[in-house]
Structure formats: structure tokens, C-alpha cells
Structure 1
Amino acid sequence: MKILVTGGAGYIGRTVVSVLLDSGYIPVILDSLIKGPREFTEDQVFYCGDIGDSKILSRIFTEHPDIVAVMHFAALIDIEESTRIPSKYYTENLLKSQILLNSALSSGIKCFLFSSTAAVYRSSSPKDGLREDSPLEPLSAYAASKLMFERIVADICHEKKGFGVALRYFNPIGADPLMRSGPYNSDPSHLLGKLTKLPAGGTFTIYGNDYSTRDGTPMRDFIHVWDLAEAHVAALHFAMNSKEAGFEVINIGSGIGVTVQEFVDSFLGISKTPIKIAIGERRPGDSAGAFANTLRAKSLLNWSPRFTLDQGISDSLSWEKIWLAKRQRSDGVD
């Protein structure tokens, strides 16, 4: 069976492509390559284009009438940028995504999986983690665009008798354990990416130490990207086996809360990189954070995370060396 993977040249999308391949599916990748590297599309069925381009969508669904589901990862994800340029995020993450959704369902595809985010939740730290029915309060255009599109998926799947799943996942780290793909952004906005890019003796800034957490720094839930990718395939099976039209929201996380300070300490212990730590002011759009309650994922998908925080950090560091070597070879550097 074929699965259309938008953003399939991205960090998470390409990892999901690998899990699909390992599970016997045939991924069809649609990616603009504005962010994702072309190397991630090699030896794959690939279309270079935009999710808002109805012509290329029509071409894909015409040339591959056996596509049975769409996994939608293509999006802008920089929270800080979205607070400065919200219009850009509502166009890319909301309006263009609706063109994709309508095109897919109008082509007879009944399963639509959407890459959402835990940033839609109100900042709180319940002892049992954030549940899917926890209060919502997106603090950025990025988070708001994701939450709005969840509602669109729910309504249009109901209208057109499809089945949609929004996977609200927390903070992915790590790389494909077989090192087929991993993070590639030369100027990452996420925590682990920034740490791995720091040179020895550099300074890492923790933004805010006055949150209501164990040590005052924000709390996060870090999930290994391979666990995340396996959850998408489990959600695919769940959606395809559903007998009726519908829509589900499912948290995907490790289920363990880790503060930024604790994460930095773990990174330093594994990498042995001598860096300095500074404390800065809170940034617009940031929250105290929380961790996922994953009981719904276990119940509906029969899925649970398998990898540890340390494994995620270690895999990221291993991939960083591999990716740097690839970049040097492609640039002609010995």
C-alpha cells in the first residue's frame, strides 16, 4: 500500500518514511525542499512541490490511485518566528493544509494523519501529565495554526466520511537508530539542536528560571524520534481499521517530565562538551511546559515509547558526526 507523506524530506517525516518502508509500505514523498535535504528523498518516490499547489496534488493522486492515506508533516515550526510573522504561519500551516486535505478526501482517500503539537495546551503541570482533554491555550501563531487545523480535519472528515487523527507530540530528539536520517538544520531552534551546535567553551542560554517547576526552568517531554515515527504507523493501522468516519486526538510523548536544566545536565554528561550555562529572560510564546499522559495512545494504538532520554541524546550526537561528514563531502571538503 502507498502512503503520501508530505514533508517527507524533513526530520520527522523522513524518519516516518523509514518506519513505513520497514513495515512494508510504499511512501510517496511530497516536499518543497525549502528546508529538507534532497538526500532524504534518494531512492524514494518523490515529488518536489508545495502542499498548497492543487495541480501537483492532482498529479500525485492521479498517478498513484492506490494511495490509501496521507501523513501530513509539512509545516513551519519556529515558535519565536510565528510570534513576529503570524500571517506566514496561518498561510503555510492552515490555508495550504486545507487545500491538501480537500484534495485528498476528494480523491477518495479516507485516512488523514496530521502532525500536531503539544504547544496547543495551557501551561500546567498535572501530576499525571497532560491529557487530550486538558485545557487548551496556544500562545503562538504556530500553536494556534495547528489547533485550528485540527478542527478543520475533524469537521471535513465528518463531512466527507473520512477518518482523521491528530497526533499531538511533544519534543522529538534523536535520529533513526540505523542512521538513515536525523536533524539537519544548520541553525536549529530546538534545545538539543542548539546544544549540539555549540563549540567547546561556548555559552548556552536557558530562557527563564522562575517557572513553577522543580528547578525553575521549563519542563519538557522529550520523545525519541523513532518512537514517534512508530506511533504514526500505529495510528495509521488504527485509522485504516476504523469502520466509521471520525476523528481522534492522541498525545505522543515519553510520559516523563524533564526540566531544561536536567536535560542540559544529561547532555553534558554524555557529550563531555565543556560549555557555559547562562540564564536569560523568558521568550514570547514560551511556557512552563509539562509532559504527556500517554494512556490514550496505549489504549487506542497499543503503543508505548521504548527509548530513553540518554539514547535520544546519544543518537543525536552520533548522527551529527555522520551528517557533518556528509556535508563536508558534498561541499568538497576533505
Structure 2
Amino acid sequence: MTTVLIAGGAGYIGSTVASACTDAGITPVILDNLVRGRREFTSGRAFYEGDIADGALVDRIFSEHPDISAVVHCAALIVVPESVADPIGYYEANVAKSLAFVSHLHRNGCDRIIFSSSASIYRAEDGSSVNEDSPLAPQSPYARTKAVCEEMFADIAVAGPRVLSLRYFNPVGADPELRTGLQLKRPSHALGVLIQAHQEGRPFPITGTTYPTRDGTGIRDYVHVGTSPRPTSRRSSASTPSSRSRSARSRSTWAPAPAPPSGSCAPRSTTSSARRWPPWTPSRARVTWRGATPRATGRPSCWGGRRSCPWRTASDPP
């Protein structure tokens, strides 16, 4: 049986990747410092609490699990406004520690890495769609840390290790079986803010109405989190090419609320762009994957992460 190390495996994406690996017959080993992750998301899995930059801990993991054949690197800080307020902390956590981590992996003979990147690194200011060859212009410190890591891994891949970067487009929702979900109590992405506005009976703030789009508002492509790990789990059990970047998206669409709240105009975000979505590009042929989360599954699971789930605690908001 294939064994994969998932860094950040107690977080939103990492825990869902771990579930997808389990469903595919791949054994996940979790490494997470629980700064943002939830211990509940590691239940029933081999779990090591600690930092990806801790060389001794990484050595211990490989000593106790010599059958690890690949690593999925999802460990990162991801809140855009927080990155603007604390860019030093974000570069240290996302870039410096990633460099230390890949050094530890190389020392232990692991040369197959999947990096959880972000579509936020694309420029897309003119409202056009993006693909793997589109120009990059990250608009926030968080996005820039992802772009820097991609360049760093590309240089490292020339020397031997094989690295694949997956650029996710706005993953939302929860695991369809409600094993895991969004770990933040108050998410800052559009769906989380929309749900909060609906629950609190206040207008939903629309940040920007002057973009070059049909109605002046920003356009985003949302990926159901239960679908996005599928290409990751497939690549972790197959041969990984030299450093490349791919876009991961889902065709699933759903309405986030039966009665959405009214909208109100808010100042345009300085860290956003007009449109960020991919067409059907070479990724589809190379990865041989497509989103398949049906609406009937997508809607309840997106709300499920905000309602009664086995991993929720009394301190979490409704």
C-alpha cells in the first residue's frame, strides 16, 4: 500500500486530501503544528504534531514510516488580510520553512513533492480567463509567498527532486461525508462572509463594482473542497514529473443559500482582481481528471461545515 506524508494535514485542504487518499487506498501520515489545523481532523491517522522546519521530527517520521513515497505540502498560512498586516510572519512560515522542509525531505531520500499553491498568483486584471501559461502578478503578500515557493521549487527540481504545483481556485465547502471541513471560525472568503451575512440578517458587502466585467463585480471560480483533492491523490500514487504548475478546478455549481442576503457596495479590495477562473486547458488531458461533485452533494456539504458536524465543538459559531 502507498504511504504519503501530508504536511498541514490537519488543515482545510490537507485534511480533505488525507480523506481522499484514504478513500483511494493510500495511507496518509499527518504532520501539522496545529497553529490553524484541528486535532479532530487527524483522528484515526498517524499524526505528528510539530513544525515542517523541524529536521529532527521529519527524520523521525521517515524513520518510523520508511515506506513514504511522496509528500503533499499543504502547510501554510493563508489569510490575505493577515498577510498584509504581517508579511514577515508569512514569508517566514510559507517560504523560509518550506525551504527547510524540502531540505529535510531531500536528506531522507524523498524526491516526489506535490505543492499546494494558489490561483491568486495570476494577474487576470483584464477580466480574461487564466491557464498555466497566463502571466503572474500576485496581489498580496500571501499570494507572493506562493509564487516565490513555486519559483524556488522549480530551481530545486533542476537538481533532482520532482515537484508538482497545483494552483487551486477558491476551494469551499466541507467533505461530503462531513469528516472534515473549514477549520476557521470566521472565514474571510466570499462564501463564508455570505453565510455570516445571511445568518446575522445584514447586507453582504460587495467589494468592488468597477471591474471590467458584465456587472462590474469580481468573478471567481469556486471548487468544491471534496473534489479538488482528487487530482492530488492521483498524482501522489503516480510518477510525478519535474516541476510544473497546474490549475485545479471543478465544474460543480450550487447556490450557497436558499434566500441570499441583500448586497451593499463596499470599497474595492487592493489585493483582488477582476476575474480569476480557468478554461478547460491542457491540465485536463495531462491529469485525466474533472470535477464531479453534483449539486445535490455540493449544497448540503457547503452548509454542513457551518452546521452540525462530528468535528464541531461548542465554541464554534453555528
* TM-score normalised per structure 2: 0.92
The amino acid across from 1:267 in the alignment is: P
In structure 2, distance between residues paired with 1:300 and 1:78: 31
Aligned to 1:291: 277
Larger CA deviation: 315-324 vs 200-209: 315-324
Question: More deviation in 198-207 or 214-223?
Answer: 198-207
Name the CA distance, whole Å, in 1 between partners of 2:276 and 2:192. Answer: 20
Counterpart for residue 11 of structure 2: 10
Matched residue of 2:227: which SS?
A: helix
The residue aligned with 2:47 is: 46
Change (3 A) 1:88 1:313: farther
1:168-199 CA deviation, whole Å, 9 max, x = no partner?
11110122111111113112111112222332
Output the CA distance in 1 between the equivalents of 2:125 and 2:234.
28
Counterpart pick for 1:253 among 217, 231, 249: 249
Encode CA deviations 1:47-92: one digit per residue, 9 max, x unaligned: 0011121221121122211111110001011112212221111101
Give the corresponding residue for 2:132. 132
Tell whether 2:303 aligns with 1:321: no
Distance (whole Å) between structure 2 residues aligned to residue 37 and residue 215 of structure 1: 39
Output the CA distance in 1 between the equivalents of 2:73 and 2:296.
Answer: 29
Mapping of 1:128-277 within 5 angstroms? Answer: 129-159=129-159, 161-198=160-197, 199-240=199-240, 242=241, 246-254=242-250, 266-268=255-257, 270=258, 272=259, 275-277=261-263
Larger relative helix fraction: 1
The answer to whether the Cα contact below 8 Å between 2:176 and 2:298 also exists between their aligned partners in 1 is no
1:307 counterpart residue number: 293
Cα contact 1:2–1:28 (8 A) shared by 2: yes
- What displacement does 1:309 show? 6.5
Matched position secondary structure for 2:284: helix
Matched with 1:34 is 35
Query: Which amino acid letter does the alignment assign opposite residue 252 of structure 1?
Result: A
Per-residue displacement from partner, 1:289-320 (whole Å, max 9, x unpaired)? 22113422211110111125775343111232
- Hey, what's the Cα distance between the residues in 2 that align with 1:255 and 1:297? 14
3-state secondary structure, aligned to 2:223: strand
User: Structure 1 residues 248, 238: CA separation in 2 closer, same or farther (over 3 Å shift)?
Assistant: farther
Q: How many equivalent pairs are there?
A: 314
RMSD, matched Cα? 2.2
SS of residue paired to 1:103: helix
Q: Give the Cα–Cα distance (whole angstroms) in 1 for the partners of residues 12 and 201 of structure 2.
A: 28
Tell me the percent identity.
Answer: 36
Matched-pair contact (CA < 8 Å) for 1:80–1:284: no
SS of the residue aligned with 1:4?
strand
CA contact (8 A) 1:183 1:316 kept: no
Shift of 1:9: 0.6
Q: Deviations over 1:192-243 (max 9, x none)?
A: 1222233242232111111111211111010111211102112224434x5x
- CA-CA distance at 1:124 after TM superposition: 3.6
Q: Which runs of 5+ in 1 are unaligned?
A: none
Q: How far apart are the structure 2 equivalents of 1:310 and 1:201?
A: 26
Deviation of residue 325 (structure 1)?
8.3
* Structure 2 residue runs without a partner (length 5+): none
**Closer/same/farther in 2, CA of residues 235 and 125 from structure 1, 3 Å limit:** farther
